[in-house]
């Protein structure tokens, strides 16, 4: 179970990073 969790988390890490960067970009546009 831990191996599957680590594998899925490692795969989703880039997606989460991209999502967070897009979210910050949108918030910066809304603030300014």
DSSP three-state, residue 9? helix
DSSP three-state, residue 1? coil
The alpha carbon dihedral of 15, 17, 23, 26 has a sign of: negative
- End-to-end CA gap in the chain: 45
Q: What is the predicted pLDDT for the residue at 16? A: 86
Q: What is the predicted pLDDT for the residue at 13? A: 82
Q: What is the pLDDT of residues 1-32, one digit of tens each?
A: 688 777 776 778 888 889 999 999 999 988 77
pTM of the model: 0.49
Q: What is the predicted pLDDT for the residue at 25? A: 93
């Amino acid at each position: 179970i831990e191996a599957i969790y680590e594998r899925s988390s490692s795969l989703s890490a880039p997606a989460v990073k991209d999502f967070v960067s897009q979210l910050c970009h949108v918030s910066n546009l809304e603030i300014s």
